Amino acid sequence: MPHFPCPNRALTAPLCLPRGLHRQSYKPQPPKEFFDLSSSTPHPQIIMLPRALKSVVLLVVLLLIALGVYLSPLQVHVPYDLLPSIAMGPITHLVLFQFKEDASSSAVRDATARMLQLKDNCVHPTSGTPYIVSAKGGQDNSPEGLQGGITHAFVVEFSSASDRDYYVKEDPVHKAFVKSIEGLVTKAVVVDFADGVY
């Protein structure tokens, strides 16, 4: 309700009330433009509150993100069999050996046999069962003369890239075999591929 200045009073005199109102019951109202949010030009204080609130919310979110990063472990070990396999299907693992010229035939036969036995000796770390699909190999007999010194070749099949990765990176049986033939092999060539992936 608007105020009415009293007539014939100084400017500093209190404002007069409309007829019928007592000073004890009258509560002056703030100007309409102060709280009218529908106004096209709201009061500056009305604008500052949402901006300050947005800043506080943003700060809280950033602090929570930083806290989550700080509390989370930097590295999480995920078992190889839980990792998603590359969508390329089975993997063929080719291994070519050049045995030393002074290696005895019995030592070469033993190494060849143990290489093929990896199919049964290498087991899945979770299930405890063999995971190599197939393994075959033998001595070179090509008449083309393009072997480049290679004397023996092996073909090992894996059902997935994750099985192949475990075989070459983690399997303790395979690692022990590789170490056991270090004194017998002059050169080793390994090539892997997925059928139809070019």
45-59 core/surface letters (b: 16 or more CB in 10 A; e: else): eeeeeeeeeeeeeee
pLDDT band at 26 (very low <50, low <70, confident <90, very high): low
The CATH T-level fold of domain 86-193 is: Alpha-Beta Plaits (3.30.70)
Q: What is the pLDDT of residues 28-44, one digit of tens each?
A: 665 554 445 555 555 55
Higher-scoring residue by pLDDT: 49, 140: 140
pLDDT at 133 over 50: yes
Mean pLDDT of 149-163: 96
Other residues' Cβ atoms within 10 Å of the Cβ of residue 91: 24
Spatial contact of 101 and 157, defined as CB atoms under 8 Å apart: no
In terms of Cα–Cα distance, which of 109, 98, 191 is closest to 148? 98
Q: What is the pLDDT of residues 61-108, one digit of tens each?
A: 888 887 776 665 544 444 544 444 445 689 999 999 999 999 999 999
Where are the domains positioned within the chain? 32-71, 86-193
Q: What is the pLDDT of residues 108-121, one digit of tens each?
A: 999 999 999 999 99
